[in-house]
Amino acid sequence: MKNASLKQLSTALAAKQVSSVELTQSYLDRIAQLNPKLNAFITLNPEMSLAQARAADARIAAGNADALTGIPFAQKDIFCAKGWLTTCGSKMLHNFVSPYDAHVILQFNNAGAVNLGKTNMDEFAMGSSNETSHYGAVKNPWDTARVPGGSSGGTAAAVAARLCAAATGTDTGGSIRQPAALCGISGLKPTYGVVSRYGMIAFASSLDQAGPMARSAEDLALMLNVMAGFDERDSTSLQRDKEDYTRDLNKPLTGLRIGLPKEFFAEGLDGDVAKAVEEAIAEYKKLGATIVPISLPNSKLSVPVYYVLAPAEASSNLSRFDGVRYGYRAPQYDDLADMYEKSRAQGFGAEVKRRIMIGTYVLSHGYYDAYYLQAQKIRRLIAQDFTEAYKQCDVIMGPTSPSTAFKLGEKGDDPVQMYLSDIYTIAVNLAGLPGMSIPCGFGANNMPVGLQIIGNYFDEARMLNVAHQFQLATDWHSRAPQL
């Protein structure tokens, strides 16, 4: 059953071909076998998972099952889950057991899904390689000497290695799409505000967005049906009518206009990635789409803008971690100020400290106007570029990442090179648009390549249709690493 889609699992559960308890136990067994090699999971609680599975079996027997009832999912360790250790990949929260459920967790619980465990991640979602986690680096299932991408690297590795049916991730500057590309799975970042951020530990509040990660676009649509929806506890949650994201999956693509930004195919893109993406575009032409050359002139500024705005918001959000109410507290200190200083110095890792310092600097008196305010103005220009582009096309396509998965430790000494891993994804977050990555081939060293699809605001259903039709015509999404 490990290669079954969510729809196939749902059908099998409804037909009593397998029970949720059997399915959950099979995944727990596989995690026990492979997680020591991959380090994809931080926390497991088989008792809680199997209790949810028994409840799901009872619900199925009573005829009250939903589409995802009884299916085991993994949850990124950025989502608070009641009774579960919730660490955000940090020593700072190494002992924090959440007293409540995040909105996303609650939505899965209400659907009758099973929580298999919490997946590893870059500390406080800050990273592009899943090497900044306090719990150690995650390994790419296609080559364990390489990174899985980040910050949702644990989720991407778990889905690719078939350690779960599907899983959740979060995307602040590409942290769903980039690891999805590097691990050969599908991942979707919805329009900002479509999925509630309540109970999702904040990194950069104006950029963070939760989304699904799975093997196929059809699976993403089924998950988004559960995850999306208004939540009054989140002031940025959008009050919109509920959508069925599976509704357009089977529409033909005849007449679809695909915009190809010249900036996405310029210097810095590896040749093997460009080749796989170009072959995917050719497949779309066969499916009836037309290609429209477009330009996103300000996209080259997205990385510097992001690394002003995101650290500024992180500096503010992470000020709450001070050793007073919860989380790590230094064992020895002289007074309150000393406790703050030592708790934060010992509790945060190097990358988190770097971003807090950058963020505090750009928000400080005398630098706010020069850096933060200027970055916000350019952010508006980046969003306007997309608005103009969508007057000419329906979706935008290009590479998700400039390269395939790089080796562990390869970019650790050069933060700028690491930051450039997200050069094609960051602009989407700055504009608040939906974006996704789907597998479209393999590059050097037989590592997966991701195709990025960017839609207009609230155009997730069309994006999922575009991805699904490609996946009906190709089999890249069904390829699995040999473990």
The catalytic site residues sit at: 76, 151, 175
Give all strands (DSSP E) within 109-161, no chain letters.
114-119
Provide the token pair at 410. Answer: 């390869």
Secondary structure element (H or E) that encloses residue 275, with its range = helix 271-286
Largest CA distance in the chain: 70
Q: How far is CA 190 from the centre of its chain?
A: 10
Strand 435-442 versus strand 186-189 pairing type:
antiparallel
d(CA 476, CA 185): 9
Percentages helix, strand, coil for the chain, rounded to the nearest 5?
Answer: 45, 15, 40
Q: How far is CA 277 from the centre of its chain?
A: 21
Provide the token pair at 253. Answer: 């693509």
Burial 353-367 (b: 16+ CB within 10 A, else e): bebbebbbebbeeee
d(CA 470, CA 43): 35
User: Smallest Cα–Cα separation from 269: which of 397, 140, 421?
Assistant: 421
d(CA 426, CA 420): 10
Count of other CB atoms within 10 angstroms of residue 304: 15
Cα distances (angstroms) measured from residue 166 to each of 4, 106, 150, 180, 219: 11, 17, 17, 12, 8
d(CA 390, CA 473): 26
User: Smallest Cα–Cα separation from 311: which of 414, 415, 155?
Assistant: 415
| Helix segments in 119-188, DSSP class H | 153-160, 177-183
d(CA 121, CA 217): 23
Backbone angles phi, psi at 320, to 5 degrees: -70, -20
Specify the amino acid at residue 432. Answer: G
101, 80 Cβ separation under 8 angstroms: yes
User: Smallest Cα–Cα separation from 194: which of 230, 140, 226, 170?
Assistant: 230
d(CA 76, CA 293): 37
Secondary structure (3-state) at 255: coil
